Amino acid sequence: MDSLTLAISSLSIPIVTYASTLLDDPFSYIIIVALLLMFFEPRWEKRIKVVFVIAVALMLSIGIKEIAKVPRPCDLGFPSKVACPTDYSFPSNHAAIAFALMLAFINKPTFPIYLAFALFVAFSRVYLGVHTIDDVLAGLVIAPIAYQTVEIVWRKKR
């Protein structure tokens, strides 16, 4: 386990724990992502495109998880602040989704908000003890590939 992952996961700040636990729940996470998408993006076409980018990022992430089969830090005996998820660790689906959402707004003034959200999501996964730094930063690689893939299909469709 890398030293940064250990340092972040050993922190304990009640408000961060509350927010991280909220994001950990898939249902509330989807609601928050949907709200962030609907609130700042008025065009339906762009909203649909972003949903596709997120879906591709998620598929890539799940596919890599099944190939890499990396156990979660909490499966290796490291303490976690929530119940240890049953799937593999690398890469983080939460981070891949958050970075994909962020990237879709790179040409918008609201980009820093999405960047801050993505960074907090990435931090929260490590903080909760369910992912390592590598797992969450893999989202930074997956998101641009997912975005580019959707761009290619989108351009062909038009």
Partner 1 sequence: MEKKTIGREIGRQLLHALVGIFLILFLAFFGRERLVILLSATLLVGMLMINWKMLGSRVPVADWFQKRFERDATRFPGYGSAWYVVGALMLAIFLHDISQISAGIFILAVGDAASTLVGMHGSYKLPYNKHKTIEGSLAFILFSLPAYAFIGWIAIPLAVAAAIAESIPLPYDDNVVIPAVCVVFFLLV
Residues that bind partner 1 (CB under 8 A): 2-4, 67, 102-103, 106-109, 111-112, 115, 119, 133-134, 137-138, 140-141, 144-145, 148, 152
Q: Please identify, using beta-carbon distances, which residue of 38 and 152 lies nearer to partner 1.
A: 152
Least distance from partner 1 to the Cβ atom of residue 51, Å = 21
Residue closer to partner 1, measured from CB, 34 or 116: 116
Q: How far is the CB of 95 from partner 1 (least distance, A)?
A: 11
Spell out the alpha helix ranges (H) of 41-132.
44-68, 93-103, 111-128
Q: Are 113 and 40 in contact (CB under 8 A)?
A: yes
Residues whose CB is less than 8 angstroms from the CB of residue 92 and which lie 6 or more positions away in sequence, other chains included: 61, 122, 125, 131, 135, 136, 138, 139
The helix (run of H) or strand (run of E) holding residue 10 is: none
Q: Nearer Cβ to partner 1, position 82 or 111? A: 111
